[in-house]
Amino acid sequence: MTVFHSQKAELNGNALLAALQEAALAAGRVIMRYYEDGCAVYSKEDQSPVTEADRAAEAIILAALATAAPQIPVVAEEEAAAGRLPAQLGRKFFLIDPLDGTREFLKRNGDFTVNIALIDNGAPVLGLVYAPTRNLLYLGGPDGAVELHTNAGHEAQQARMIAARIAPPDPVAVCSRSHRTAQTDRFLHGNRLDQFISVGSSLKFCMIARGEADIYPRFGPTMEWDTAAGDAVLRAAGGMTATFDGVPLTYGRRADGTMGGFANPDFIAYGAGGMPVFAGR
């Protein structure tokens, strides 16, 4: 088994990251069973879908975190939707989206991921994004970013370091597959971003992190658990996620004991070389 090593991470970082890696792969394994066999679908209060796969994957990750880092609070999407949020976050906490891209899961297009992130003082310092249909696990931390391949049993195989690129003269944008807005289209057109790819879930961050794309503008609602893991991978690869004012996206600063306190502002993710200059929003 290949494990991404981080000598700088606290809490005996290698052991923690190994536990998170195994949790992400185990969650991917159970999600794929539901993907292949089918599962029940429910509606949350905001009318967004949630499936048995979401809940089963979240249970696996929460159990792993309770063993590996019981002292660190956890904010998980389905727990938050049920009103179960930590009374206090503190400087460090985990953000979990057990199945990012539930709509893509239901459409059966493969664009969904398992997201696990560790936040420290508002910044995503450790992130894992597992795309089980692609057999790719992305990891980001103090030592850089890694793309790790898995086999048919979702077991870790070979790994390679990845890095974001400096945008070429004709940058490639990535956009949400299911949540693209008119404002996104105006931004693309106004900045002559003629090359763009539509993809679901946190894979957009990973495409920039691996040098396959350059810009991800996002307008409209997202939650911190949607973005934190992919953002951590991107930052580890040399990129950044920021508001349109150029301020790095922060996590947990608006937490007020409700789900709404974990909503993100509009943001833009980009590769190496700093934030490009754009015409309007």
Contact 21, 10 (CB under 8 A): no
Cα separation, 262 vs 83, in Å, equals 13
Binding residue numbers? 77, 97, 99-102, 226
- 3-class DSSP assignment, residue 60: helix
Q: According to the model, what pLDDT value does residue 280 have? A: 60
Out of 101-110, 129-138, 233-242, pick the least confident: 101-110
Cα separation, 121 vs 141, in Å, equals 15
User: Average pLDDT in the 113-125 region?
Assistant: 97
Q: According to the model, what pLDDT value does residue 13 have? A: 53
Is the pLDDT at 207 greater than 60? The verdict is yes
Binding residue numbers for substrate? 77, 99-102, 226
User: Average pLDDT in the 9-21 region?
Assistant: 70
Is the pLDDT at 178 greater than 70? The verdict is no
Q: Please report, to the nearest 10 degrees, the dihedral formed by the alpha carbons of residues 61, 127, 163, 9 taken in order.
A: -120
DSSP state string for 123-192? EEEEEEEEETTTTEEEEEETTEEEEEEE-TT--EEEEEEE---B--SSPEEEEESS---HHHHHHHHHTT
Task: Name every residue whose Cβ is closer than 8 Å to that of residue 144 and which is 6 or more positions away in sequence.
Answer: 161, 163, 236, 237
- Pick the residue with more confidence: 278 or 95? 95
User: Average pLDDT in the 35-61 region?
Assistant: 90
User: Average pLDDT in the 55-66 region?
Assistant: 97
Query: Pick from 166, 167, 184, 162: which is nearest to 234 by CA?
Result: 162
Binding residue numbers for Mg(2+)? 77, 97, 99-100, 226
Out of 61-65, 176-180, 262-266, pick the least confident: 176-180
Is the pLDDT at 11 greater than 60? The verdict is no
